[in-house]
């Protein structure tokens, strides 16, 4: 009997160590890879928070040499990746440890690609373009949102073109991810809100993606449950480590879901927007999410109904239009409850920018797995609604 190839699914993830204080074990893992010299990639804010000092102390305790590269912008740039690769080579490093939010982690992944291939990071845009394995990658996330620590995505900003580009390959899935909720306690409330919504969008988009399946759905649903149920309280009680742990776990689950199911129009549009205005990625997602959900709803009504029910919305007796309205209202109310009142217009986007943004969004790989097939005109309309 012939095998039904449409039912085949794959799932990739790093080795994950989860729990308060696990960052202190980084030296053990570096030593396991036979590290002689580690390139530690971070940024000035994470260094100031003290998390890099903990990592360096752990490496020193294991007798592992290291050098620190911290010239990383909030949206990591092509030049920063190339410069980091130069530092890696000059110091004869053989392992990369990235400490921080999505920016240091994506920069660390980019450095790994460049040193493995000996070519510009610009040459690897797209899906499955990598041919050589990167050096061992160890990630220590300090925000609960981007999930670069578990994903097969790298997002780099090309400032010359005013756009971000995506590299998608299982070759950039980290080898080890040390997920330590304590590292998120230094985040300010707005960053906590942005990254929390980013993680929620990861889960929503993964669940309705055309690439979803039985290996990703449970992670997406559990992420939605954890983030929807705890984000407001966590932002109100930033030092509560139990709440931090639940949001960090939700972010991780969302990352495992979207890394394998891919995403949709929110992220395609967000990448374009973030590259154009150099805005935080989570902010871009949060501005767009309810508009894209409303646009997509009719293409996956049963799956969006499951999302609504996971958020605690009573859907009994409601038609699809009513469920869509309740879901959109819930997302807006959640954003307001965590102090998020942004619009695109507030950040200087005008209607004249929309064609440029939409063209680049249509070139993003995430648009390919959006549940509703989208034209450039559709994307323009959604951007217009978010102004």
Model pLDDT, residue 8 = 84
Model pLDDT, residue 1 = 40
Q: What is the pTM (predicted TM-score) of this model?
A: 0.96
Would you call 102 exposed, middle or buried from its count of C-beta atoms within 10 A (0-12, 13-18, 19+)? Answer: buried
Query: Which residues is 62 bridged to in the sheet?
Result: none
Q: What's the rounded Cα separation, in Å, for the pair 282 and 342?
A: 11
* Residues 76 and 113 sit within 8 Å (Cβ to Cβ): no
> Measured at the alpha carbon of residue 344, what is the angle toward residues 342 and 345, in degrees to the nearest 5?
100
pLDDT in tens, 199-222: 999 999 999 999 999 999 999 999
Picking from 55, 175, 53, 159, the residue whose alpha carbon sits closest to that of residue 109 is 175
The topology under which CATH files domain 13-182 is Rossmann fold (3.40.50)
Model pLDDT, residue 268 = 97
What are the residue ranges spanned by the domains of the chain?
Answer: 13-182, 189-384
Model pLDDT, residue 6 = 61
The topology under which CATH files domain 189-384 is Dehydroquinate synthase-like, alpha domain (1.20.1090)
- With tokens 């950040």, the residue in question is 347
pLDDT in tens, 235-259: 999 999 999 999 999 999 999 999 9
Q: Which residues of the chain have pLDDT under 70?
A: 1-6
Q: Residue 277 — φ and ψ, nearest 5°?
A: -110, 0
């Amino acid at each position: 009997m012939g095998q039904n190839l449409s039912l085949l699914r794959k799932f990739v993830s790093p080795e994950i160590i989860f729990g308060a204080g696990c960052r202190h074990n980084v030296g053990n893992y570096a030593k396991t890879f036979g590290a002689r010299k580690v390139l530690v990639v971070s940024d000035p804010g994470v260094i100031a928070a003290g998390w890099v000092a903990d990592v360096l102390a752990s490496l020193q305790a294991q007798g592992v040499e290291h050098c620190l590269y911290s010239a990383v912008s909030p949206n990591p740039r092509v030049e920063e990746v190339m410069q980091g690769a130069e530092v890696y080579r000059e110091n004869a490093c053989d392992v990369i440890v990235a400490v921080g939010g999505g920016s240091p982690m994506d920069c660390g992944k980019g450095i790994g690609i460049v040193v493995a291939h000996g070519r510009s990071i610009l040459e690897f845009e797209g899906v499955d373009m990598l041919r050589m394995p990167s050096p061992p990658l160890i990630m220590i996330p300090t925000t609960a949102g981007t999930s670069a620590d578990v994903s097969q995505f790298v997002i780099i900003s090309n400032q010359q073109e005013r756009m971000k580009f995506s590299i998608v390959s299982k070759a950039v899935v980290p080898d080890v991810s040390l997920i330590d909720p304590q590292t998120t306690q230094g985040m300010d409330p707005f960053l906590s809100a942005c990254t929390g919504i980013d993680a929620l969008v990861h889960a929503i988009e993964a669940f309705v993606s055309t690439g979803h399946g039985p290996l990703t759905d449970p992670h997406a649903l559990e992420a939605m449950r954890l983030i929807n149920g705890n984000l407001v309280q966590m932002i109100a009680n930033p030092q509560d480590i139990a709440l931090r742990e639940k949001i960090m776990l939700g972010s991780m689950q969302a990352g495992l879901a979207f890394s394998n199911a891919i995403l949709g129009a929110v992220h395609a549009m967000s990448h374009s927007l973030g590259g154009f205005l150099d805005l935080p990625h989570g902010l871009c997602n949060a501005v767009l999410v309810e508009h894209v959900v409303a646009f997509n709803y009719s293409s996956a009504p049963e799956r969006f109904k499951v999302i609504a029910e996971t958020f605690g919305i009573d859907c009994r007796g409601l038609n699809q239009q009513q469920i869509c309205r309740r879901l959109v209202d819930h997302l807006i109310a959640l954003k307001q409850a965590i102090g998020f009142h942004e619009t695109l217009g507030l950040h200087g986007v005008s209607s004249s920018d929309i064609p440029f943004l939409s063209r680049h969004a249509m070139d993003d790989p995430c648009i390919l797995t959006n549940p509703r097939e989208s034209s450039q005109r559709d994307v323009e309309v959604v951007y217009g609604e978010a102004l």
